[in-house]
Protein backbone atom coordinates (compact mmCIF):
# COMPACT_ATOMS: atom_id res chain seq x y z
CA UNK A 1 0.00 0.00 0.00
CA UNK A 2 2.83 2.37 0.83
CA UNK A 3 4.52 1.54 -2.47
CA UNK A 4 1.30 2.31 -4.37
CA UNK A 5 0.93 5.61 -2.53
CA UNK A 6 4.52 6.48 -3.36
CA UNK A 7 3.88 5.72 -7.05
CA UNK A 8 0.94 8.14 -7.14
CA UNK A 9 3.14 10.82 -5.59
CA UNK A 10 6.16 10.18 -7.81
CA UNK A 11 4.38 9.85 -11.20
CA UNK A 12 3.02 13.44 -11.39
CA UNK A 13 6.44 14.72 -10.32
CA UNK A 14 8.17 12.83 -13.14
CA UNK A 15 5.60 14.04 -15.66
CA UNK A 16 6.16 17.64 -14.57
CA UNK A 17 9.91 17.20 -14.89
CA UNK A 18 9.49 15.82 -18.41
CA UNK A 19 7.25 18.71 -19.44
CA UNK A 20 9.70 21.23 -18.03
CA UNK A 21 12.54 19.53 -19.90
CA UNK A 22 10.60 19.78 -23.18
CA UNK A 23 9.69 23.40 -22.56
CA UNK A 24 13.32 24.31 -21.93
CA UNK A 25 14.66 22.69 -25.11
CA UNK A 26 16.82 25.23 -26.91
CA UNK A 27 15.70 25.84 -30.47
CA UNK A 28 18.24 26.30 -33.25
CA UNK A 29 17.91 29.13 -35.80
CA UNK A 30 19.47 29.37 -39.27
CA UNK A 31 19.18 32.62 -41.26
CA UNK A 32 20.05 32.56 -44.97
CA UNK A 33 20.42 35.69 -47.09
CA UNK A 34 22.47 38.78 -47.87
CA UNK A 35 23.18 42.19 -46.29
CA UNK A 36 19.62 42.44 -44.97
CA UNK A 37 20.15 39.26 -42.97
CA UNK A 38 23.51 40.39 -41.65
CA UNK A 39 22.10 43.78 -40.65
CA UNK A 40 24.55 45.88 -42.66
CA UNK A 41 25.34 49.26 -41.06
CA UNK A 42 23.64 48.49 -37.73
CA UNK A 43 25.00 46.76 -34.61
CA UNK A 44 24.59 42.99 -34.90
CA UNK A 45 22.10 42.97 -32.03
CA UNK A 46 19.80 45.19 -34.14
CA UNK A 47 19.72 42.77 -37.09
CA UNK A 48 16.39 41.06 -37.61
CA UNK A 49 17.61 37.53 -36.73
CA UNK A 50 19.00 38.71 -33.39
CA UNK A 51 15.97 40.83 -32.57
CA UNK A 52 13.76 37.87 -33.45
CA UNK A 53 15.68 35.63 -31.04
CA UNK A 54 15.27 38.18 -28.28
CA UNK A 55 11.53 38.47 -28.89
CA UNK A 56 11.14 34.70 -28.87
CA UNK A 57 13.02 34.52 -25.59
CA UNK A 58 10.77 37.23 -24.17
CA UNK A 59 7.79 35.13 -25.23
CA UNK A 60 9.13 32.13 -23.34
CA UNK A 61 10.94 30.19 -26.06
CA UNK A 62 14.51 29.10 -25.43
CA UNK A 63 16.49 29.84 -28.61
CA UNK A 64 20.16 29.70 -29.53
CA UNK A 65 21.73 32.77 -31.15
CA UNK A 66 21.02 32.72 -34.87
CA UNK A 67 23.53 31.05 -37.17
CA UNK A 68 23.81 33.38 -40.17
CA UNK A 69 24.89 32.34 -43.67
CA UNK A 70 24.88 35.60 -45.61
CA UNK A 71 27.15 38.21 -47.17
CA UNK A 72 26.62 41.70 -48.49
CA UNK A 73 26.08 41.61 -52.24
CA UNK A 74 25.08 37.96 -52.48
CA UNK A 75 22.66 36.92 -55.21
CA UNK A 76 20.73 33.64 -55.16
CA UNK A 77 23.63 31.96 -57.00
CA UNK A 78 26.21 33.22 -54.51
CA UNK A 79 24.10 32.19 -51.52
CA UNK A 80 23.85 28.68 -52.95
CA UNK A 81 27.63 28.63 -53.45
CA UNK A 82 28.11 29.82 -49.85
CA UNK A 83 25.82 27.07 -48.60
CA UNK A 84 27.75 24.42 -50.49
CA UNK A 85 30.96 25.51 -48.76
CA UNK A 86 29.43 25.42 -45.25
CA UNK A 87 28.99 22.57 -42.81
CA UNK A 88 25.64 22.71 -41.03
CA UNK A 89 24.50 21.31 -37.70
CA UNK A 90 21.09 20.41 -39.08
CA UNK A 91 18.24 19.97 -38.60
CA UNK A 92 17.31 23.46 -37.45
CA UNK A 93 14.13 24.38 -35.62
CA UNK A 94 13.80 27.73 -37.42
CA UNK A 95 15.08 28.58 -40.92
CA UNK A 96 14.63 31.96 -42.62
CA UNK A 97 15.34 32.90 -46.24
CA UNK A 98 15.57 36.44 -47.61
CA UNK A 99 17.35 36.76 -50.96
CA UNK A 100 17.00 38.53 -54.29
CA UNK A 101 17.74 42.24 -53.98
CA UNK A 102 21.15 41.83 -55.59
CA UNK A 103 19.63 39.86 -58.45
CA UNK A 104 17.47 42.91 -59.13
CA UNK A 105 20.28 45.42 -58.51
CA UNK A 106 22.61 43.68 -60.96
CA UNK A 107 19.92 43.28 -63.60
CA UNK A 108 19.77 39.49 -63.38
CA UNK A 109 17.07 37.62 -65.28
CA UNK A 110 13.94 37.03 -63.16
CA UNK A 111 13.51 33.58 -64.74
CA UNK A 112 16.97 32.58 -63.45
CA UNK A 113 16.03 33.95 -60.04
CA UNK A 114 12.91 31.80 -60.10
CA UNK A 115 14.92 28.63 -60.66
CA UNK A 116 17.58 29.47 -58.11
CA UNK A 117 15.13 30.66 -55.46
CA UNK A 118 13.20 27.40 -55.71
CA UNK A 119 16.41 25.43 -55.19
CA UNK A 120 17.27 27.57 -52.17
CA UNK A 121 13.82 27.09 -50.68
CA UNK A 122 14.18 23.33 -51.02
CA UNK A 123 17.54 23.62 -49.28
CA UNK A 124 15.93 25.63 -46.48
CA UNK A 125 13.30 22.90 -46.01
CA UNK A 126 16.01 20.23 -45.88
CA UNK A 127 17.85 22.27 -43.22
CA UNK A 128 14.61 22.24 -41.22
CA UNK A 129 14.58 18.45 -41.34
CA UNK A 130 11.87 18.49 -44.01
CA UNK A 131 9.43 20.38 -41.78
CA UNK A 132 7.97 23.20 -43.92
CA UNK A 133 6.30 24.76 -40.89
CA UNK A 134 9.72 25.67 -39.57
CA UNK A 135 10.71 27.65 -42.69
CA UNK A 136 9.94 31.36 -43.14
CA UNK A 137 10.54 33.50 -46.23
CA UNK A 138 10.79 37.29 -46.03
CA UNK A 139 10.09 39.52 -49.02
CA UNK A 140 12.77 41.72 -50.61
CA UNK A 141 12.96 45.31 -49.29
CA UNK A 142 12.66 48.22 -51.72
CA UNK A 143 16.02 50.00 -51.70
CA UNK A 144 14.63 52.44 -54.28
CA UNK A 145 12.85 54.30 -51.49
CA UNK A 146 16.13 55.07 -49.67
CA UNK A 147 18.39 58.14 -49.94
CA UNK A 148 20.96 55.91 -51.70
CA UNK A 149 18.64 55.76 -54.72
CA UNK A 150 18.59 59.55 -55.14
CA UNK A 151 18.75 60.38 -58.86
CA UNK A 152 17.71 56.89 -59.94
CA UNK A 153 14.39 55.77 -61.39
CA UNK A 154 12.62 54.85 -58.15
CA UNK A 155 9.44 53.69 -59.90
CA UNK A 156 11.42 51.32 -62.11
CA UNK A 157 13.24 49.90 -59.08
CA UNK A 158 9.96 49.41 -57.22
CA UNK A 159 8.39 47.70 -60.22
CA UNK A 160 11.35 45.33 -60.57
CA UNK A 161 11.37 44.56 -56.84
CA UNK A 162 7.66 43.73 -57.16
CA UNK A 163 8.42 41.27 -59.98
CA UNK A 164 11.04 39.46 -57.90
CA UNK A 165 8.74 39.41 -54.88
CA UNK A 166 5.88 38.04 -56.95
CA UNK A 167 8.17 35.17 -57.91
CA UNK A 168 9.39 34.33 -54.40
CA UNK A 169 5.88 34.67 -52.96
CA UNK A 170 4.35 32.38 -55.56
CA UNK A 171 6.97 29.67 -55.01
CA UNK A 172 6.82 30.00 -51.22
CA UNK A 173 3.04 29.75 -50.99
CA UNK A 174 2.88 26.94 -53.56
CA UNK A 175 5.12 24.95 -51.23
CA UNK A 176 2.94 25.64 -48.19
CA UNK A 177 5.59 27.78 -46.48
CA UNK A 178 5.01 30.95 -44.47
CA UNK A 179 5.65 34.17 -46.40
CA UNK A 180 6.25 37.41 -44.52
CA UNK A 181 5.95 40.65 -46.46
CA UNK A 182 8.08 43.54 -45.18
CA UNK A 183 8.44 45.46 -48.47
CA UNK A 184 5.69 48.04 -47.96
CA UNK A 185 7.23 49.09 -44.67
CA UNK A 186 10.56 49.79 -46.36
CA UNK A 187 8.78 52.16 -48.73
CA UNK A 188 7.91 54.42 -45.79
CA UNK A 189 11.48 55.74 -45.57
CA UNK A 190 10.76 59.06 -47.38
CA UNK A 191 8.20 59.95 -44.71
CA UNK A 192 10.05 58.27 -41.84
CA UNK A 193 13.86 58.64 -42.11
CA UNK A 194 14.29 56.74 -38.81
CA UNK A 195 13.67 53.55 -40.79
CA UNK A 196 16.97 53.75 -42.69
CA UNK A 197 20.50 53.16 -41.36
CA UNK A 198 23.28 55.76 -41.43
CA UNK A 199 24.53 54.44 -44.79
CA UNK A 200 21.31 55.71 -46.38
CA UNK A 201 20.61 52.30 -47.91
CA UNK A 202 19.94 49.55 -45.41
CA UNK A 203 17.14 49.38 -42.84
CA UNK A 204 17.70 50.75 -39.36
CA UNK A 205 17.28 48.76 -36.18
CA UNK A 206 13.82 50.32 -35.89
CA UNK A 207 12.70 48.77 -39.18
CA UNK A 208 14.35 45.45 -38.41
CA UNK A 209 12.38 45.46 -35.15
CA UNK A 210 9.17 45.49 -37.19
CA UNK A 211 10.39 42.54 -39.25
CA UNK A 212 11.35 40.69 -36.08
CA UNK A 213 7.91 41.26 -34.57
CA UNK A 214 6.20 39.79 -37.63
CA UNK A 215 8.60 36.88 -37.80
CA UNK A 216 8.51 36.01 -34.10
CA UNK A 217 4.71 36.13 -34.13
CA UNK A 218 4.63 33.75 -37.12
CA UNK A 219 7.09 31.40 -35.46
CA UNK A 220 5.10 31.24 -32.23
CA UNK A 221 1.79 30.80 -34.09
CA UNK A 222 2.81 28.17 -36.62
CA UNK A 223 6.00 26.39 -35.66
CA UNK A 224 5.39 25.73 -31.95
Q: Is the pLDDT of residue 212 over 90?
A: yes
Alpha-carbon distance of 184 to 21, in angstroms, equals 41
Q: What percent of the chain has pLDDT over 70?
A: 88
Contact 74, 33 (CB under 8 A): yes
Residue range 52-96, pLDDT digits in tens: 999 999 999 999 999 999 999 999 999 999 999 999 988 999 999
Q: Is the pLDDT of residue 3 over 60?
A: no
- Per residue in 120-178, pLDDT (tens digit) is 999 999 999 999 999 999 999 999 999 999 999 999 999 999 999 999 999 999 999 99
State the pLDDT confidence band at 181, using cuts at 50, 70 and 90: very high
Question: What are the phi and psi torsion angles at 31 (to 5°)?
Answer: -115, 120
Separation of alpha carbons 224 and 206, rounded Å? 26
Residue 168: strand, helix, or coil = helix
How high is the pLDDT of residue 222? Answer: 81
Question: Which pLDDT does position 144 carry in this prediction?
Answer: 98
Higher pLDDT, 32 or 6: 32
* Domains of the chain as residue ranges with CATH: 26-223 (3.40.50.1110)
26-49 exposure pattern, b = at least 16 Cβ within 10 A, e = fewer: ebbbbbbbbbbbbbbbbeeebbbb
pLDDT of residue 42: 98
Residue 145 vs residue 7, higher pLDDT? 145
Q: What is the pLDDT averaged over residues 199-223?
A: 95
Band the pLDDT of 24: cuts 50, 70, 90: low
| pLDDT in the model for residue 224 | 62
Residue 160's SS3 state is helix
Average pLDDT, the chain: 91
Amino acid sequence: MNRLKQLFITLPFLMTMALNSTAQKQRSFLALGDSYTIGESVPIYESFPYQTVQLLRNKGMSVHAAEIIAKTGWTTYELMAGIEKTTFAQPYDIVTLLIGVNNQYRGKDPSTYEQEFEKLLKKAVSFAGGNKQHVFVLSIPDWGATPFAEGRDRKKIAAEIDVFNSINKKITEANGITYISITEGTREVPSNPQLVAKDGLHPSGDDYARWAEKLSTAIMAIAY
